[in-house]
Amino acid sequence: MNAMTTPNPPLAGRLRLTGYAFLEVLLAVPTLLFFVLTVVGGVVAVAWVGLGILFVSVPALRWITGRHRAFAARTLGTPVPADYRPMPANAHLVARVLVWAKDPMTWRELAWCLVSMTAGFVLSLLTFLLLVVIVTGGLWWYGAEPIMRARARLDRALLSYGTTERLEQRVQVLTETRAESIDHSAAELRRIERDLHDGAQARLVSVGMSLGLADSLLAEDPEEARRLVAEARQTASAALGELRDVVRGIHPPVLADRGIGGAVDALALDMALPVSVTQRLPGRPPAPVESAVYFAIAECLANVAKHAEAEHAWVELAYGEGVLVAVVGDDGHGDADPDRGTGMRGVMRRLSAFDGTMRVSSPAGGPTLVTLEVPCALSSPKTMPSSPTDSPGS
């Protein structure tokens, strides 16, 4: 057995736990400092000075709690995730403070500060003193591990959500995404109905009328009847084209035939600027996920064409650890804000129905990177091409 897999001997393990205890004692002072600053900043947040205090104190307090989460995870041997609410890209100071204020984890961390500076501090200090006081070596040997495990469980209880809370949050998210998906599906059905009524249906009615007139004129005026038949043929062709457009808006045939990789290649070829497509997919995701990601990528590329003033864009498709990842980037002017338009909110709504997420990085001056992630399983082990495809555009 190599050194990477050999468990720590009892002495080393106890010394490691005592080291955590010593660091936790040292962190008690900055914990108190930034707890007071956060409370003061929150009280005077109506003034800019309060917002400035929070801009410093909240990230600092989160850094401290992050260290304690790491100590607790290593002590207990289980992850202690933070579960913060996501921060919008390029959020200004007021927006950041509002997200922090609405995040339940912020309030849990403030409550943890009070516990950490009292009961937690006593447990950590006791562990350290049992080691440095000579007459208590035996007590340290038998007491260090249970004391630090108690401290770790205390930290985990406040700094991470429990199973019941996670289930409640999951139910809430599913309720919201289900409602959004139902609304989106109803809007899509209305759009399809409107497109069919105003387009293909009207043209087909015109075809019927033209053919009826042609039939009545066939004996008396063959030339006019022939003209009406030709007109009906053109109208039928136009109706067929509109039906294809409607079908393409529901589920593009190329997506069903070639999968998301081939569909994104075809999408890139239709762009008015060069788009590089790189795909590393060892199979195909489920059809609903494939469709959602395809339309999300299409919306992102449409935003690039409309707003980014870019010279080049790219799409990267990859799969790993049970997650389908799509990155859409461009070399435009940047400063994209997903909260300013309905398109990106539509992308988030599509993905949220599948537990998907969207992250936007768009500093002023670019580049803009939109990362889409959807957990799913692939249905085929077939290896797809991984070489980039440069599409010069039309």
Say if residue 236 is in the same domain as residue 326. Answer: no
Q: Which of 209, 228, 250 is the last residue of a domain?
A: 250
| pLDDT single digits (tens) 54-99 | 999 999 999 999 999 999 999 998 888 888 887 776 678 888 888 8
364, part of any domain: yes
Say if residue 147 is in the same domain as residue 14. Answer: yes
Helices (H) and strands (E) in the chain, counts: 12, 6
5, part of any domain: no
Say if residue 323 is in the same domain as residue 296. Answer: yes
Q: Please compute the mean of the pLDDT values over residues 281-307 and round it to a whole number.
A: 85
82, part of any domain: yes
Domain of 223: which CATH number? 1.20.5
Question: Does the pLDDT at position 251 exceed 50?
Answer: yes
Say if residue 325 is in the same domain as residue 191. Answer: no
246, part of any domain: yes
Query: Which pLDDT value is given to residue 186?
Result: 62
Say if residue 244 is in the same domain as residue 343. Answer: no
Say if residue 229 is in the same domain as residue 343. Answer: no
1, part of any domain: no
Q: Rounded to a whole number, what is the distance in angstroms from the first to the last CA of the chain?
A: 60
Say if residue 236 is in the same domain as residue 289. Answer: no
Question: Does the pLDDT at position 341 exceed 70?
Answer: no
Question: Does the pLDDT at position 114 exceed 50?
Answer: yes
Chain centroid to CA 286: 19
Expressed as residue numbers, the domain containing 289 is 257-391
Say if residue 282 is in the same domain as residue 355. Answer: yes
Contacts of 205 (CB under 8 A, 6+ apart): none
Say if residue 237 is in the same domain as residue 321. Answer: no
Query: Which pLDDT value is given to residue 343?
Result: 63
∠ CA 128-132-137, rounded to 5°: 95
89, part of any domain: yes
| pLDDT single digits (tens) 206-247 | 778 877 877 787 777 888 878 888 887 887 777 776 666 666
Phi, psi torsion values for 231, nearest 5 degrees: -65, -40
pTM of the entire structure?
Answer: 0.53
Say if residue 147 is in the same domain as residue 192. Answer: no
Query: Which pLDDT value is given to residue 49?
Result: 86
Half-sphere exposure of 192 (CA within 13 A, CB side): 14
Say if residue 110 is in the same domain as residue 21. Answer: yes
pLDDT band at 152 (very low <50, low <70, confident <90, very high): very high
Question: Does the pLDDT at position 174 exceed 70?
Answer: no
pLDDT band at 27 (very low <50, low <70, confident <90, very high): very high
Domain of 386: which CATH number? 3.30.565.10
Beta-bridge partners for 267? none
Q: Please compute the mean of the pLDDT values over residues 168-194 and round it to a whole number.
A: 65
Query: Which pLDDT value is given to residue 119?
Result: 94
Say if residue 299 is in the same domain as residue 347. Answer: yes
Q: Which of 228, 250, 272 is the last residue of a domain?
A: 250
Q: Which of 250, 275, 299 is the last residue of a domain?
A: 250
Contacts of 299 (CB under 8 A, 6+ apart): 343, 344, 346, 347
Give percent above pLDDT 90 in the chain: 26
How many structural domains are present in the chain?
Answer: 3
306, part of any domain: yes
Question: Does the pLDDT at position 140 exceed 90?
Answer: no
Q: Please compute the mean of the pLDDT values over residues 248-274 and round it to a whole number.
A: 79
62, part of any domain: yes
Query: Which pLDDT value is given to residue 394?
Result: 37
More confident residue, 271 or 36: 36
